[in-house]
Chains A and B, each alone.
Chain A
Amino acid sequence: MIEARAMSKRYGDRLAVDSISFEVARGEVVGFLGPNGAGKTTTMRMLTGFLPPTDGTAVIDGHDMLTDPLRARRSLGYLPESPPLYPEMDVEGYLRFVASIKGVPRGERRSAVERTLERCGLVDVRRRVIGALSKGYRQRVGLGQAIVHDPPVLILDEPTVGLDPVQIREIRTLISNLARPAAGGTQHTVILSTHILSEVEAICQRVILIHRGRKRVDAPIADLVREGGGLESVFARETARDESEPEAATV
Chain B
Amino acid sequence: MRHVGTIASRELRSLFVSPVAYAVLTLFVLLAGFFFLSSLLQFEEYVLRMQQFQYFDQLKELNLNDHVIAPFFGVMSVVLLFMVPGITMGLFASEKTNHTDELLLTSPLTMWDIVLGKYLAAAAFVSLLVALLALYPAILLLYGDPEVAKTLAGLLGLWLVGLAYAAIGGFASSITRNQIIAFAFSFVLLLVLWMLSFLADLGAAGGAIGAATGFSDFLRWLSTAEHFESFVKGLIDTADLAYFAVLVGTSLLLTKFAVESVRWR
Contact = CB atoms under 8 A, between A and B. Distances in A.
B263 A50 contact: yes
Interface in A31-45: 45
Contact of B98 (A52, A85, A97): A85
B106 A86 contact: no
A70 B102 contact: no
Contact of B102 (A71, A84, A101): A84
A74 to B, nearest CB: 4
Interface string B88-113: 00000000001111111111111001
Contacts of A85: 98-100
Contacts of B108: 70-71, 73-74, 101-103
Interface stretch (A75-83, A111-119, A185-193): A75-83
Contacts of A102: 107-108
Nearest to A76: B106
Contact of A93 (B13, B100, B103, B104): B13
A8 B123 CA distance: 41
Interface of A: 11, 45, 48-52, 70-71, 73-74, 76, 78, 80, 82-89, 93, 97-98, 100-103, 145
Given A52-B264, A71-B108, A103-B108, 13 more contacts: A11-B265, A49-B106, A78-B106, A82-B99, A83-B99, A84-B103, A89-B14, A98-B103, A101-B3, A101-B6, A101-B108, A102-B107, A102-B108
Contacts of B101: 84
Contacts of A74: 108
Interface string B36-56: 000000000000000000000
B104 A101 contact: yes
Interface string B122-146: 0000000000000000000000000
A83 B103 CA distance: 9
Contacts of B6: 97, 100-101
Rank and list the top 6 A-B pairs by shortest CB-CB distance, nearest first: A84-B103, A80-B102, A84-B100, A82-B99, A48-B106, A74-B108
A93 B12 CA distance: 13
Interface residues of B, number: 25
Contacts of B263: 50-52
Contact of B14 (A45, A83, A88, A98): A88
Interface of B: 3, 6-7, 10, 13-14, 17-18, 98-110, 113, 263-265
Contacts of B99: 80, 82-85
Contacts of B109: 101
Contact of B13 (A49, A80, A89): A89
B260 to A, nearest CB: 10
28 contacts: A11-B265, A45-B102, A50-B105, A50-B263, A51-B263, A71-B108, A73-B106, A73-B107, A73-B108, A74-B108, A76-B106, A80-B99, A80-B102, A82-B99, A84-B98, A84-B100, A84-B102, A84-B103, A86-B14, A86-B100, A87-B98, A88-B18, A89-B10, A97-B10, A98-B103, A100-B3, A101-B104, A102-B108
A208 B157 CA distance: 61
A49 B3 contact: no
Contacts of A100: 3, 6
Contacts of B106: 48-50, 73, 76, 78
A145 B99 CA distance: 13
Interface centre among B7, B101, B105, B263 (most CB of A within 10 A): B105
Contacts of B113: 101
Contacts of A98: 103, 107
Nearest to B15: A88
B34 to A, nearest CB: 31
A122 B228 CA distance: 52
Interface centre among B18, B106, B108 (most CB of A within 10 A): B106
Contact of A88 (B3, B7, B17, B105): B17
Contact of A70 (B13, B17, B100, B110): B110
B13 A101 contact: no
A54 to B, nearest CB: 10
